[in-house]
Structure 1
Amino acid sequence: MAKRLIPALNRVLVEKIVPPSKTSAGILLPEKTSKLNAAKVIAVGPGDRDKSGNVIPVCFKEGDEVLLPEYGGSEVKLGDKMFHLFRDDDILGHLVE
């Protein structure tokens, strides 16, 4: 049975995007140039609550590409895949084309 994780409160489950280590022509890229802490949002929690009990929604949605901080988050293994769990305010921003 496959497990699915639904994050609590204002947490966001992401899968890191692994940049290619080679170009389409087969040229190896140095590790430094291919390092970008990008991830795809897999699931989001319902949001946190303010002092009045109102829900503050998470500003990301499933499928968004985001920029992560260099450190932080919690590693989560579901099946044979690794994911990371971050609070929404720890995520640095959206990646758009």
Structure 2
Amino acid sequence: MAVITVNDIPGGTQAQYEQIADKVTGGRGLVKGRSDWPVPGLISHAAGPTPTGWFVCDVWESEEAWQRFADILAPYAQEVGMPEFELKVYPAFNVVTA
């Protein structure tokens, strides 16, 4: 079952996001497509600033696929000083891709 992951990161910055993305892509900069992700299963990804920090919302094919990516992501987030945040995971009822 597909899942939606929501990361509202108070105090997170675009610079930290870009540093993490560079690590995720092996030094190629921002993620541009699904093939840039280090694990399969990503359906969609969006990120941007909020009034208090940074926001990331993904849709994954399964919670297991998300967890494989989270295992890679967590050390990078700590490495760049990304503030702690509460991850929310919701079952996806309807997913539409363009």
* Larger RCO: 1 or 2 (CA < 8 Å, sep 6+): 2
| Structure with higher helix content | 2
Instruction: Classify the TM-score, shorter chain.
Output: under 0.3
Larger Rg: 1
